[in-house]
Chains A and B, each alone.
Chain A
Amino acid sequence: MDEELERDERVFLLGEEVAQYDGAYKVSRGLWKKYGDKRIIDTPITEMGFAGIAVGAAMAGLRPICEFMTFNFSMQAIDQVINSAAKTYYMSAGLQSVPIVFRGPNGASAGVAAQHSQCFAAWYSHCPGLKVVSPWSSEDAKGLLKSAIRDDNPVVFLENELMYGVPFELSEEAQSKDFTIPIGKAKIERQGSHVTLVSHSRFVGHCVEAAGVLAKEGIECEVINLRTVRPMDVETIEKSVMKTSHLVTVEGGWPQFGVGAEICARIMEGPAFNFLDAPAVRVTGADIPMPYAKILEDNSIPQVKDIIFSVKKTLNI
């Protein structure tokens, strides 16, 4: 964000506690000291109001980054995100664009319970006019955020609180100030030939771990990191499925009408269906509001063992 703020005068950040508090999760630490009140704006706790203000500023030509403290709070402002931001370009027949980024942590954290743990990937990906991006690694986060800020359309950027603290190695290329990752392309994190694992955000890490364990047993998993949930890179998934003939999707959200459901439907409608040797399987969060007690919480989100179990079931081992 620092690099983008520096690069383009029109970019600014607004949200709760982003300035003097250095960010609720310290994502915007140091930015206020560097850029001041004009470009880093603390807002009162009025999501609908400030989301609307951010969209209005985008319509007037600025490039705001609107931070929601978690995406759960974005439900207060969802009307502005969908009706004002996503639909406006279409409704105005191309006259009025809205170059805005809505970002914040999404999905389950640790012990924050039902009202603070919902995954919104499916909700936002449902809407045409929005782009929904969900990074996993640091490289993803940097490249995708830069692309999102530089994109002239509304982008919902779903981060993950538990991933904030996880370090990743950044390649030389990724350290440059102009490193961007195209929105709409998935990445194959690990090559494999027996089963395709598709995931986004934190669970990509789980998939990679599961793949490591399964490799010892001779099962080679191909792990795909979606990176962008909407528009989804179905070609990469299809190519992979045509190679491996088995598909397991992994996500943190609820199963009904989720990201995994969409992937399965698209595979069915496409050429890859004929290559499937077993029905596609979804590994998702449990279909309940998130409980608080640790043991219950642990059983409500996909674990590495769930992935391993599902893979073995799919392969009939």
Chain B
Amino acid sequence: MTQIGTEFAEWAKQKLEQDPQFMQKILFSDEANFYVNGEVNKQNHRYWSDTNPHWIDPSKTVGTKKLMKCDTHRLEDGPPTKSVLTREDALKYYRTMQVIRRMELKADQLYKQKIIRGFCHLYDGQEACAVGIESGIRLTDHLITAYRAHGYTYTRGVSVREILAELTVEAMEPWTIEHRVFVYDCFVKNNQSITAVQHEFRCHFNIHRNKDVPARNTIPRWVKALRTRGTLMNKRMLGATRMARTPENVESIRLAQLRSPNRSARKHSSELGLSNHSVPLGAGVALACKYKGTDEVCVSLYGDGAANQGQIFETYNMASLWKLPCIFICENNKYGMGTSVERAAASTDYYKRGDFIPGIRVDGMDVLCVREATKFAADHCRSGKGPIVMELQTYRYHGHSMSDPGISYRTREEIQEVRSKSDPISMLKDRMLNNNLASVEELKEIDVEVRKEIEEAAQFATTDPEPPLEELCNHIFYNEQPMEVRGTNPWMKLKSIS
């Protein structure tokens, strides 16, 4: 154990000897993780100084980092092992990764509240991949991925608000806990008159007379739920049943300025419902880039699970034959749904699976490593050498999707170990602090800002009205006259506008 660790342990022991109830009397503490091998994770340390901690030495705005050397296949040299990180870039990457992390955790929460339905595949743990890749390619390059896409949708320019709004768009019951608490109080106050409650609800929340308020049978249901089960939410308690150790501190949101949420959605990123489509489609986009003579590249992402699909090899063949400027990136998060890579692939060297296509294996938890490798790959493609395969070794903290607790095929210890040793955000943070590129306060400020942004986006998404029924049949065809579409019975003739 380290010196500090030993001292602390001695101090705690002493305190306990003086007062056995000491531990229960602690109001709050900061966490720091100590490891037997001597490492200390100092994420929550506060620094006190007598000079303004915001002041940063301008000569120290740039840090040079040494990166892990990447394994290569059929390549003479790999990406550089040294990388320069400027303060500006570092802050940008940090913020983006935090946004993605918070957004995914928020999506987790919304899913448990049943505001998000269907499937929800979360990206936390893999943020360095999205951010690293985006910083290695240009805005005009293309990117195509499969369903674990929230991270990429954000890095390619869609705002958090739009992402969450799309996920929550089918919210059948958009009543948050605030609404419900109000309803309960109102109900008790008004002597159980439901009409009065509805009227007050409408006034208090300023709901337009044509829009819905909680229904006649919803209100007593909520009241009963609170009285019998002790909760106002539908079935599960908010987060209580989940055992996974998510470092969620959503309750400590402070008011801060909202960063501009307006970003235009760009066409380059597509979210597909199936896991393996992205590869031939990405090669198709690359074909178009080559055809049009632009020097754009296309990044096609797929996971370790999809990496064994036949169409990927068909695509490797054609991309290599025709020298398409396509970067195939395999995000290897060690598990294809619930099957670990050893049980699914005869060869887990995904960067070599392209066979005649050169490949690089990259540490996907280190944003700088990903960035350098992506730049290297993009240059390779742009110079007309044809496609290249990149394997990003990364990890996802959540299960495959929200319906998967993620512990039946792996241990909690494993998740915790990755989280403490190789968390991408902590890695970047440590680097930034060690090189004095930013102060702890600054990063804390960014954290708070980010939480505010996500909370507001979630608020917008959950109170956003559902799409009107008239939109049901729109956008079947492009550039087409309005046409009639048959509904669920022969008399239902719906209109479709393209």
Contact = CB atoms under 8 A, between A and B. Distances in A.
Interface of A: 12, 38, 41, 43-44, 46, 48-62, 79-80, 83-84, 88-97, 99, 128-129, 131, 152-153, 231, 269
Contact of A38 (B291, B311, B317, B490): B291
Given A128-B476, A231-B483, A51 B280 contact: yes
B283 interface: yes
Contact of B476 (A41, A48, A90, A92): A90
Nearest to B300: A56
A97 to B, nearest CB: 4
Given A53-B284, A90-B476, A153-B477, A44 B318 contact: yes
Contacts, number: 129
B148 interface: no
A59 B265 contact: no
A56 B280 contact: yes
Contacts of A93: 474-475
B9 interface: no
Contact of B285 (A50, A60, A131): A60
B479 interface: yes
Contacts of A41: 322
Nearest to A51: B280
B279 interface: yes
Contact of A60 (B277, B288, B317, B479): B288
Nearest to B314: A49
Nearest to B270: A96
A60 B483 CA distance: 26
B142 interface: yes
B392 interface: no
Tell which of A12, A53, A79, A99 has the most Cβ of chain B within 10 Å.
A53
Contacts of A48: 280, 310-311, 314
B267 A53 contact: no
A80 B270 CA distance: 15
B329 interface: no
B475 A50 contact: no
Interface string B260-279: 00000101001011100101
B321 A44 contact: yes
Given A48-B310, A131-B477, 17 more contacts: A44-B314, A44-B317, A49-B315, A49-B317, A51-B280, A52-B281, A53-B287, A53-B318, A56-B144, A56-B281, A60-B287, A60-B289, A62-B287, A62-B291, A84-B272, A84-B277, A94-B498
Contacts of A80: 277, 280-281
A130 B274 CA distance: 19
B314 A58 contact: no
A49 B474 contact: no
A79 B291 CA distance: 25
19 contacts: A44-B314, A46-B318, A49-B311, A49-B318, A50-B318, A53-B284, A53-B287, A56-B285, A57-B285, A60-B289, A61-B292, A62-B291, A79-B274, A83-B273, A84-B281, A89-B478, A90-B475, A129-B477, A152-B477
B280 A62 contact: no
B387 to A, nearest CB: 12
A52 B285 contact: no
B243 to A, nearest CB: 34
B146 to A, nearest CB: 12
B305 to A, nearest CB: 16
A18 to B, nearest CB: 14
B282 interface: yes
Contacts of B479: 97, 152-153
B281 A59 contact: yes
B346 to A, nearest CB: 21
Nearest to B479: A152
Contacts of B485: 128
A93 B285 CA distance: 20
B474 A94 contact: yes
B480 interface: yes
A38 B272 CA distance: 28
Nearest to B166: A93
A41 B314 CA distance: 16
Contacts of B286: 56
A89 B280 contact: no
A60 B268 CA distance: 8
Interface string B182-219: 00000000000000000000000000000000000000
Contacts of A59: 270, 281, 284-285
A248 to B, nearest CB: 23
Contacts of A43: 318
Contacts of A128: 476, 485
A96 B267 contact: yes
Nearest to B286: A56
A54 B287 CA distance: 9
A140 to B, nearest CB: 21
Taking each of A50, A95, A269, which has the highest tally of chain B beta carbons within 10 Å of its own beta carbon? A50
Contacts of B281: 52-53, 55-56, 59, 80, 84
A44 B310 CA distance: 14
B360 to A, nearest CB: 23
A2 B498 CA distance: 30
A43 B321 CA distance: 10
Contacts of A56: 144, 280-288, 298
B284 A54 contact: yes
Contacts of A54: 284
A13 to B, nearest CB: 12
